Structure 1
């Protein structure tokens, strides 16, 4: 059970025993930056032919394996970030339901993306995709890349769901003490050539006022959003996108494309 007082934790889901897990490493860094505890979770479902009441061969072993996965991840997080408050648990139940429930009282949910990077098309049934669509907090999908001096990049489109992405992007840039690149893609040639774009300037005004320490570069480009953001992801330490765009769906098309193709961790603002 998550028990962090009034400090909502950073929650990270772990599936298998993996040394130097990108998700655990990134989640630990986020917890340290935000001054929050880290909570590590493994969702456990009894495999076929075993049962919790002792019937069937191999009783006890699957559950012990699950406990070991969490214990190893806790040890890794503590070794990587000395002084960080780390807890963990094995939760009985399906992974998606478990993580969505925990996200309701989390500051951030972090997951890995191994399944996504092995896919040619977006596997909508994958845990990373479904959690990004349904979580009650922002989600970061870790890919293992680390560019500590690179900027944070956020895509904007003027939709009503853009505000959570900007909240998260400005927060991450300020915490990491790096520049923020704000990109509005799919503009016309005049806008891309540097002509003043009132929509972008007006949109950013509240965030610029709240985060005066963040160095912001505003770009309006003619390329389609997936192309522009995909290119920038090669030189970013984090790409932030909104959960939805103009179309009311669980995940916007640009967000889906970035989860599959971006070359850096992807954060989904919620």
Structure 2
């Protein structure tokens, strides 16, 4: 993961209806990380960027906020700034949301318009952070980011690994051992979580495995009561992998896409 721990939080806006909500979420992230907030308007509208920055300062006194604007519909400037940012935030209805989530060197949080209605936790209990550990190999940056977010938010963490039967169903293939596959998935997930539990002892964590051929749907269901869903993005060439891409478009809560090791 190329994120800079002390770098600013960068929020990309383009005047879409979700822009202000993305700025507010980014401001909360910047406060928690004790780092500046940079508002970047890719439509070149400096007046609107300044207005968003002023509202962030008003809502969050003491937060250092700056604004800039450039005519950059592909959001290349946001991708460039991601190299020195601790986090990038965008609205799901921004024209560049998918591209930034695909390519940013820093973790990207995508704010959805109906995030506030994403399910309820029991009274007096904070909604959890959910981390979807799809690819267990190289998952440490993803799990680590989820623990950090849970710690910043004072929230419990639920780690979910979705596993499925291999696609090869030839008749000469040995019978698939579901119990063994489930046990292996649980063991590998526990190993992925253990190291970070020691680093963040204040985070209450539990984990579970789910068997499903529809990984994105299973993670979306697990995230229904969550305040944040964290998923990894494998470093393959090309656009977003199917799971994070679908969750970026149709998430039920804010979705963090974290660059994941190979």
TM-score scaled to structure 2, two decimals?
0.80
**Aligned pair partner of 2:87 in 101, 104, 108:** 108
SS in 2 for 1:84: coil
Q: Structure 1: where are the runs of 5+ without partners? A: 1-5, 46-65, 116-125
What pairs up with 1:1-270 in 2 under 5 angstroms?
Answer: 7-16=6-15, 21-44=20-43, 66-114=45-93, 126-144=95-113, 145-146=115-116, 149-186=126-163, 190=179, 197-223=186-212, 224-244=214-234, 250-270=239-259
The Cα of 1:71 is off from its aligned counterpart by: 1.4
SS in 2 for 1:101: helix
- The CA distance in 1 between the partners of 2:75 and 2:138, in whole Å, is 23
CA 1:19 to 1:195, structure 2 compared with 1: closer, same or farther past 3 Å?
A: closer
- The CA distance in 2 between the partners of 1:108 and 1:196, in whole Å, is 30
SS in 2 for 1:114: coil
Runs of 4+ in 1 over 6 A off after TM superposition: 191-196
User: How many equivalent pairs are there?
Assistant: 234
For structure 1, which segment, 182-191 or 230-239, has the greater mean C-alpha deviation from structure 2 after superposition?
A: 182-191
SS in 2 for 1:157: coil
SS in 2 for 1:207: helix
Asked whether the equivalents of residues 42 and 71 of structure 2 are also in contact (C-alpha less than 8 Å), the reply is yes
Instruction: Output the aligned Cα RMSD.
Output: 2.7
- The CA distance in 1 between the partners of 2:21 and 2:52, in whole Å, is 11
Asked whether the equivalents of residues 244 and 255 of structure 1 are also in contact (C-alpha less than 8 Å), the reply is no
SS in 2 for 1:21: helix
CA 1:128 to 1:240, structure 2 compared with 1: closer, same or farther past 3 Å?
A: same
The Cα of 1:99 is off from its aligned counterpart by: 0.7
- The CA distance in 2 between the partners of 1:19 and 1:157, in whole Å, is 28
Asked whether the equivalents of residues 19 and 91 of structure 2 are also in contact (C-alpha less than 8 Å), the reply is no
- The CA distance in 1 between the partners of 2:18 and 2:129, in whole Å, is 27
TM-score scaled to structure 1, two decimals?
0.78
The Cα of 1:199 is off from its aligned counterpart by: 1.2
Asked whether the equivalents of residues 133 and 243 of structure 1 are also in contact (C-alpha less than 8 Å), the reply is yes
Q: Residue by residue, what CA displacement relative to the aligned partner does 1:77-130 show, whole Å, maximum 9, x if unpaired?
A: 012111111111113544421111111111110000126xxxxxxxxxx51111
- The CA distance in 2 between the partners of 1:93 and 1:195, in whole Å, is 47
SS in 2 for 1:197: helix
Counterpart position of 1:3: none
The Cα of 1:20 is off from its aligned counterpart by: 7.7
Q: Structure 2: where are the runs of 5+ without partners? A: 166-177
Greater relative contact order (Cα < 8 A, sep 6+): 2
- The CA distance in 1 between the partners of 2:18 and 2:92, in whole Å, is 15
Tell me which structure has the larger Cα radius of gyration.
1
For structure 1, which segment, 129-138 or 140-149, has the greater mean C-alpha deviation from structure 2 after superposition?
A: 140-149
The Cα of 1:267 is off from its aligned counterpart by: 0.3
- The CA distance in 2 between the partners of 1:155 and 1:243, in whole Å, is 11
